[in-house]
Chain A
């Protein structure tokens, strides 16, 4: 009598129900998903990845060094050049570029979808209330749970990896855009309205510029979270530095895993500091 009556439990039915829905979705929308897969692959991932791996290694180092110097400082430029040299010396340049392509593609998708969603959430309390638990879920739900349906839909490869990354990395983009716009001084909104601005003008000339530092912080967070999905992405067939880490784990080659891990950390530091530098410049 201390236990919950077993006959009341209906977990099995719910599972069946969800399975049914997923099956139905996979089968019914197969052509659509196929088209979407091709679109993401051909439209973004493959050309981007090809481009990044096509650039000569020294040009990549030069560009990263230059960017670091322009938006951070000279010391960090030297550091990032050092990081990139180490990545090259460990033979991980090409894989790193593939990882960069997936990360940046995911980030771009997060920005394209996240900023409008964040703006909408800032304008509508109703939508914001609805969105909040969904965003919480996206960040806390173990990725594998949505990876399986993603695999069923897109098969192994880069697209489900990007999908999983976007689901995990988009919440800070939406949240910080929402926050940034809500934090705009109501007095400035009033001043702007008193000159007869339309809602669109208020958004474009007042809210977005004033929210920009916060939005840029959101982009920085999104990049970091996207990078943290790299290993998981390799598990479902997206080639990159994560593949090395995974191989290290599978074959119990600690050294291989470690080098892969270091490359991810270096990429993370470079992306973090450069995106933060851009955000600071904008303030």
Chain B
């Protein structure tokens, strides 16, 4: 696994709203176990974020998911200090932003972080172009360089030709494109997205999600994405943190969250998730047991298969490119027919998928012979395999493990 750089590190963040948050926090152990309502009645304070820690790696999409009131929007505002955390530190590239003075914070916001809001936050008295250029204007850029950056951002979000329009002439989806372009224009390394697509209708939301995936893979940004929609979290997130009542309940990849919910709260959440559409081939694929070079002798191969009790083998060429499958029966028949090399035997018709295909896709492949699905990368490189049993196991509720398929 590659060494990942930590871009944002949130450490023990607390945010308490009320008249004297500091002193409440000093005695927080006295309220252990109190419900939100009790806590409010006893102290007149609300805990929005409760001792939250997590790291966000460079260039990943980190999704914070929770219902309204779970503190997710407060948490994301603590990252750029639109809200001051009561306690805790936020390190961005190892600089503690809690220690920054006003000027340093301003510089940070102007260059390193940009935000896309649920409510768009566009200025109604400005045109599309002037809204997109807002961040650049604020940091004093002008002239051709600024125009080029604006145009690039506008093109990226597909708003070309709308530059001169006023904001109120655009639909919600278009307005959020402007919001996204405004955030992209300043070329920040980090993008904070506070439920950016929640206000949009489902069709547009879906479309924006797809486009966002494309854009973010192009521009290489570290993204913290807030949402209340688990499907959105799963579609977009490299990793997901699930928040409840100000605490993070679980952090993991979409597949981990869906397959191993940490507690009842999370499993309630993921219960209705159509797993077949959430879990991707890459999540459940396993190493093929036996990979054989196409030039190998049939004889030796059969022996090797028998020794390992393999019913099937994966045949590749010198560059690990998938050539085909060969079952033990085929191999023995062909040997009897007098064939000697593996490549004379192989079955070139086999079900295949790419690593980002859903397991539902894998299940519906044309596969009457019940062959394992072969997961291929670029140039037909062999990445892994998925047996039908693995697919079916992972679609059922309850735990699935990658070990399942080694038993087959």
Which of A33-41, A85-93, A190-198, A217-225 has 4 or more CB atoms under 8 Å from chain B? Answer: A190-198
Residue pair A210, B124 in contact (C-beta under 8 Å): yes
Task: Map CB proximity to A onto B115-147 as digits: 1 under 8 Å, 0 otherwise.
Answer: 101010111110000000011011100000000
Which residues of the other chain, A, contact B110 by a CB distance below 8 angstroms?
Answer: 195-196
Which residues of the other chain, B, contact A188 by a CB distance below 8 angstroms?
Answer: 121, 123
Task: Map CB proximity to A onto B157-178 as digits: 1 under 8 Å, 0 otherwise.
Answer: 0000000000000000000000
Assign chain A's interface to a size class.
10 to 19
Residue pair A190, B138 in contact (C-beta under 8 Å): no
Interface centre among A195, A198, A206 (most CB of B within 10 A): A195
A187 at the interface (CB under 8 A from B): yes
Task: Map CB proximity to A onto B88-126 as digits: 1 under 8 Å, 0 otherwise.
Answer: 000000000000000001111111011101010111110
Contact of A194 among B114, B125, B137 (CB under 8 A): B114
B82 at the interface (CB under 8 A from A): yes
Check A195/B114 contact, CB under 8 A, given A190-B82, A201-B138.
yes
Instruction: Give A122 to B322 CA distance when docked, in angstroms.
Output: 70
Which residues of the other chain, B, contact A194 by a CB distance below 8 angstroms?
Answer: 80, 82, 109, 113-115, 117, 121
Task: Map CB proximity to B onto A78-115 as digits: 1 under 8 Å, 0 otherwise.
Answer: 00000000000000000000000000000000000000
Check A209/B125 contact, CB under 8 A, given A187-B117, A190-B82, A194-B80.
yes
Minimum C-beta distance from A211 to chain B (A): 11
Instruction: Give A190 to B116 CA distance when docked, in angstroms.
Output: 11
Residue pair A191, B117 in contact (C-beta under 8 Å): yes
Which residues of the other chain, A, contact B117 by a CB distance below 8 angstroms?
Answer: 187, 190-191, 194
List residues of A (222-256) whose CB comes within 8 Å of B's CBs: none
Residue pair B134, A195 in contact (C-beta under 8 Å): yes
Residue pair B121, A190 in contact (C-beta under 8 Å): yes
Residue pair A196, B109 in contact (C-beta under 8 Å): yes
Minimum C-beta distance from A40 to chain B (A): 35
Minimum C-beta distance from B143 to chain A (A): 18
Check A195/B109 contact, CB under 8 A, given A187-B117, A187-B119, A201-B138.
yes
Residue pair A195, B82 in contact (C-beta under 8 Å): no
Which residues of the other chain, B, contact A198 by a CB distance below 8 angstroms?
Answer: 106
B186 at the interface (CB under 8 A from A): yes
Contact of A206 among B105, B123, B182 (CB under 8 A): B123
Mostly, the A contact residues are: helix
Instruction: Give A187 to B82 CA distance when docked, in angstroms.
Output: 11
Which residues of the other chain, A, contact B121 by a CB distance below 8 angstroms?
Answer: 187-188, 190-192, 194
Contact of B107 among A192, A196, A197, A209 (CB under 8 A): A196
Check A193/B82 contact, CB under 8 A, given A187-B121, A209-B125, A210-B124.
yes
Which residues of the other chain, B, contact A193 by a CB distance below 8 angstroms?
Answer: 82, 109
Closest to B103 in A: A198
Which residues of the other chain, B, contact A191 by a CB distance below 8 angstroms?
Answer: 115, 117, 121-122
Instruction: Give A190 to B115 CA distance when docked, in angstroms.
Output: 10
Residue pair B135, A195 in contact (C-beta under 8 Å): yes
Interface centre among B109, B138, B139, B182 (most CB of A within 10 A): B138
Instruction: Give A192 to B138 CA distance when docked, in angstroms.
Output: 9
Residue pair B114, A209 in contact (C-beta under 8 Å): no
Instruction: Give A195 to B124 CA distance when docked, in angstroms.
Output: 17
Task: Map CB proximity to B onto A196-215 as digits: 1 under 8 Å, 0 otherwise.
Answer: 11100100011001101000
Which residues of the other chain, A, contact B107 by a CB distance below 8 angstroms?
Answer: 196
Closest to B108 in A: A196
Instruction: Give A190 to B125 CA distance when docked, in angstroms.
Output: 17
Which residues of the other chain, B, contact A212 by a CB distance below 8 angstroms?
Answer: 125
Check A196/B139 contact, CB under 8 A, given A187-B121, A210-B125.
yes
Task: Map CB proximity to A onto B75-88 as digits: 1 under 8 Å, 0 otherwise.
Answer: 00000101000000
Instruction: Give A206 to B135 CA distance when docked, in angstroms.
Output: 13
Which residues of the other chain, A, contact B82 by a CB distance below 8 angstroms?
Answer: 190, 193-194
Q: A188-B123, A190-B117, A205-B137 are in contact. List 8 more A-B contacts (CB 8 A).
A: A190-B82, A194-B82, A195-B134, A195-B186, A196-B111, A196-B139, A198-B106, A206-B123
Closest 7 CB pairs of A and B: A191-B121, A196-B110, A196-B109, A194-B115, A195-B135, A196-B106, A209-B125
Please, could you name 18 A-B residue pairs with CB atoms under 8 Å apart, sorted by A?
A: A187-B117, A187-B121, A188-B121, A188-B123, A191-B115, A194-B114, A195-B115, A195-B186, A196-B108, A196-B109, A196-B138, A197-B106, A198-B106, A201-B138, A205-B137, A209-B123, A210-B125, A212-B125
